[in-house]
Structure 1
Amino acid sequence: MRPAGGTDVRRVVGLALPALVVLAAEPLYVLVDTAVVGHLGALPLASMAIGGTVLAQVSGQLNFLAYGTTARAARRYGAGDRAGAVREGANATVLALAIGAVIVALVELLAWPVAAVIGGTGSPALAGAVEWMRIAILGAPGILLSLAGNGWMRGIQRTREPTAYVVIGFGLCAVLLPVLVYGLGWGLAGSAVANVIAQWVTGGLFLRALLREGGRLRGDRAVMRGQLSTGRDLVIRTLALQGSFILAAALCSRLGPEVLGAHQIGLQLYMLTALALDAVAIAAQSLVGEALGREDAAAARRTAALCARVGFAAGAGLALVLLAVRPWAPRLFTSDAAVLAQAEVMWWWLAGMQVVSGVLFALDGVLMGANDVAVLRTITIVAHALVFAPISVVAYLAGWGIGGIWLGLAAALVVRLALGGRRVRGDRWMSARVA
């Protein structure tokens, strides 16, 4: 049976809000974990920071298991093939377990050299980092199961259960952390064990949902090829984005510690606001994929326009909030006068970028929902390699300071919006197929 057609603001928001809860859970958990471990002292906190960098790459680099699966499952669902949508989830789950097992083996084998590269060979935090990493990485398959589960369940617009699963995992971890770290006296290792338990419980809930839906853990070679092709493009896109952030941090560090400090504040706030805006993109993926599955090009175009308007409203709202709190918010992060002076310059760029990002992320979701990820990958590479990189390097050499670096970041967003908007205004994005 085909799902009912039609899209309105309530439907977009109804999909976006649960997605926002899921997106916000991970950074909130990291904050709680950091606070608990932070009271053990600076050395355990540094160890967790090194190990956590590795664990963060699991969800960061392999998020195609969620985003790619959403688009593919939504297309099947829109065509009335719910079983096919679930089959996409089953294949993504098989991939999650296989990739997770490989990651566990590699990190267990290479924990010391990986930690040394991140923290430096002489770091006193290395031993703790290796201990934490070798335990925490056992939860990697659970993380990937959650990504795959979120993907197919968003695709068939079952958004309440994923929210509940993630909240259960977060709540369990919040309880276990102080018990294991302080109550049982396990210290840093207790943090890692809490990670593993929470990730496997959450992943297990998604696995149970798949099996109850009739999914079979049996790989379909053709479907997997399509998923890996989509995954390849999304991973390359993610690398392009991360490369820009690394270059920005490197240039800011060479401009002085006060510039780097202000940049770090701005970057973390931008990542936080991006979570809210990305929720609209997830709604766009699901709804556009469904419309194209019904072969309703007009509905797909209306959905794209509506999601762009919702994204604009969300971005404008965040920009106004940032401008309203500008006089005092930076002082929540630092009392250093030099850093505050640099943050004041950066803040205007941070606020202005929200409006562009709101529309851009929505259109990114539209293209992902259409499985037009190869074009999305190319747009991202062009914007960040050919626009951000030259502008930021020129800004550094010309002495434009932090404003010049953030000018480059803003310019890359504008170029991505222009190219993505041009793509969506045409018709070719709607002809992308699910392999």
Structure 2
Amino acid sequence: MHRPLPSHDPRAIWSIAIPAMATNVATALIGIADIWIIGQLGDAAAQGAVEIGARLLMSLLVVFNFLKTATTGLTAQAAGQRNEQEKMAALLRASAIALAIGLVLLATKPVTVPLGLDLLEAGDEVRADAALYVDIRFWAAPAWLLNAALVGWLIGLRRVRTVLAVEVAVNLIHVGLGVLFVLVWDMGVMGIAYATLISETGKLAMLLVALLPSAKFPAFAAAARRPDLWEAGRMGALFRVNRDLFLRTLLLTAAILLVTRQGAIQGTTILAANAILFQMFMLTALLLDGFENAAQVLCGETIGAKDRDGFDKTVRRIMLRGIGTALILTGFFAVASGPVVASFSTDPQVVETVLRYDIWLLALPLAGVASFVMDGVFVGATWTRAMLGTMAAAFIAYGAMLWLTTPLGNHGLWLSFTVFLLIRAAGQFAMTPRLAARTFAPITAEK
């Protein structure tokens, strides 16, 4: 059987990062395809409704993204320890929590959807279609949460290529259904929602099949019978990690929601333009998140193996490669951002507005890359309390910047978001030496 590359081997970074980048791009294509397909109707209100509906639903779900990130870190640490039963236990715990959260979300749907539309300032032009979109797509919430747990587990085992294959298949299904429902059958916003519902449930079925080689039934059953599977101490540690990641993601989601809300306040055209710009930012973020995935897995493995030297080398090597990739993305947007973003709408006013603000696409990759990589380091090391603290500080600064830059209008909004990314990274860099010294202290003491 082929043995994985050692965590400290530079080739291990690319063996995880490249498939993860491709996987993340495939994931982003769902949102990008939705905005592009609905944009071909030339209706800014319909495009704005999909943006608000998708942002609301994803905000409710993404706060539970700890199901992926925590599972990746804990699984990687178990792999570093060569603890097969703990790997199975990580999968069982994450899946049970995902299913429970999904059922709660469905039960509270009649309250959360109207409240969310109010908070996002959904005006009369977009509210009805946004509510229709969310009402249909919401039924895929349990599948989305289970998918997050399963993907996190597979990534923690370095099975990133498997995840990529699933994402590509799901995207082909999603885009094909979106084109059929919207551009052929003229189902409008409802067609986009049904395409997402079908593709998300199909993804769950594919992932369940994909995990079978690594989760054979005898090992899975042995983990399920473990008396300490749901033991208070182990569950307490899991919920501590998940709590911190939940609160951190809640703040990140609030920051993203403010981008949508501030755009909606400025009118339908700005809302539609910002939706396009944000999808481009998310594309760069998900590319750079390939290095976050590499940091989660490789740093988790080095900590599980108590390898301080390997940890330090891994962080440096991943950061350098992330910065280099961010420079390439900035160069691409410097050359091609105009025609790319303009293709996302046939409304001349929306296109003109997008081109007025696309300069921010040059700054965002460089501003965000360090925070993305350090997020992976902190998750892999399960330094989640510190991660929450740096996010809270950045969010407070973000709120202050939004207030101070109000006279700059939409430029002020994007400047504030850029500063938010920079402050997150600065806080994480500042805390890393102390956290690493504490994590590896037992090894030092023994020596």
TM-score bracket, shorter-length normalisation: 0.7 to 0.9
Residues 370, 432 of structure 1: 8 Å contact kept: no
* Percent identity over paired residues: 26
Alignment partner of 2:421 out of 385, 391, 413: 413
Aligned mates of 2:38, 2:277 — CA distance in 1: 24
The runs of 5 or more residues in structure 2 that have no matched partner are: 442-447
Match of 2:433 in 1: 425
Q: 1:354 is aligned with what amino acid?
A: P
Q: 1:352 is aligned with what amino acid?
A: A
Shift of 1:26: 3.1
Superposed CA offset, 1:313-362 (max 9, x none): 1112222222334676665568559747842xx62x54234224222311
After TM superposition, the structure 1 stretch with the greater mean CA deviation from structure 2, 250-259 or 143-152, is 250-259
Alignment partner of 2:315 out of 262, 280, 304: 304
Q: 2:174 is aligned with what amino acid?
A: C
Alignment partner of 1:55 out of 42, 54, 57: 57
Match of 1:72 in 2: 74
Aligned mates of 2:352, 2:184 — CA distance in 1: 41
Match of 2:363 in 1: 352
Aligned mates of 1:422, 1:313 — CA distance in 2: 22
Shift of 1:72: 0.8
Alignment partner of 1:288 out of 299, 307, 316: 299
Aligned mates of 1:120, 1:162 — CA distance in 2: 36
Go from structure 1 to structure 2 and tell me whether the alpha carbon gap of 1:256 and 1:101 turns closer, same or farther (over 3 Å shift): closer
Residues 51, 275 of structure 2: 8 Å contact kept: no
Equivalent residue runs for 1:183-332 within 5 Å? 189-210=190-211, 212=213, 213-214=215-216, 215=220, 220-222=230-232, 223-247=234-258, 266-325=277-336
* 3-state SS in 2 of match to 1:80: coil
Q: 2:432 is aligned with what amino acid?
A: V
Shift of 1:66: 0.6
Shift of 1:90: 1.8
Superposed CA offset, 1:355-389 (max 9, x none): 2422231122111110001101101111220x232
After TM superposition, the structure 1 stretch with the greater mean CA deviation from structure 2, 94-103 or 45-54, is 45-54
Shift of 1:101: 1.8
Superposed CA offset, 1:262-321 (max 9, x none): 765544432221111111111110000011111111111111111111111111222222
Residues 33, 191 of structure 1: 8 Å contact kept: yes
Match of 1:95 in 2: 97
Aligned mates of 1:274, 1:194 — CA distance in 2: 24
* 3-state SS in 1 of match to 2:124: coil
After TM superposition, the structure 1 stretch with the greater mean CA deviation from structure 2, 408-417 or 211-220, is 211-220
Residues 277, 341 of structure 2: 8 Å contact kept: no
- What value does the CA root-mean-square deviation take over the aligned residues? 3.8
Q: If the length of structure 1 is used for normalisation, what is the TM-score?
A: 0.82
Q: If the length of structure 2 is used for normalisation, what is the TM-score?
A: 0.80
* Higher RCO structure, 1 or 2 (CA under 8 Å, sep 6+): 2
Aligned mates of 1:183, 1:249 — CA distance in 2: 29
Are 1:392 and 2:394 matched, yes or no? Answer: no
Aligned mates of 1:364, 1:128 — CA distance in 2: 35
Residues 92, 227 of structure 1: 8 Å contact kept: no
Residues 69, 227 of structure 1: 8 Å contact kept: no
Superposed CA offset, 1:28-60 (max 9, x none): 123334555566785766654554334323442
Residues 142, 199 of structure 1: 8 Å contact kept: yes
Match of 2:157 in 1: 156
Aligned mates of 1:158, 1:371 — CA distance in 2: 20
Equivalent residue runs for 1:327-338 within 5 Å? none
Match of 1:15 in 2: 16
* 3-state SS in 1 of match to 2:319: helix
Superposed CA offset, 1:155-193 (max 9, x none): 111112111122222223334445566778877555444
Residues 52, 122 of structure 2: 8 Å contact kept: no
Go from structure 1 to structure 2 and tell me whether the alpha carbon gap of 1:297 and 1:240 turns closer, same or farther (over 3 Å shift): same
Match of 1:106 in 2: 108
* 3-state SS in 2 of match to 1:371: coil
Residues 258, 338 of structure 1: 8 Å contact kept: no
Are 1:84 and 2:115 matched, yes or no? Answer: no
Aligned mates of 1:258, 1:127 — CA distance in 2: 18
Shift of 1:74: 0.5
Would you say how many aligned residue pairs link Structure 1 and Structure 2? 426
Match of 2:144 in 1: 143
Aligned mates of 1:292, 1:82 — CA distance in 2: 17
Aligned mates of 2:153, 2:254 — CA distance in 1: 29
Residues 9, 310 of structure 1: 8 Å contact kept: no
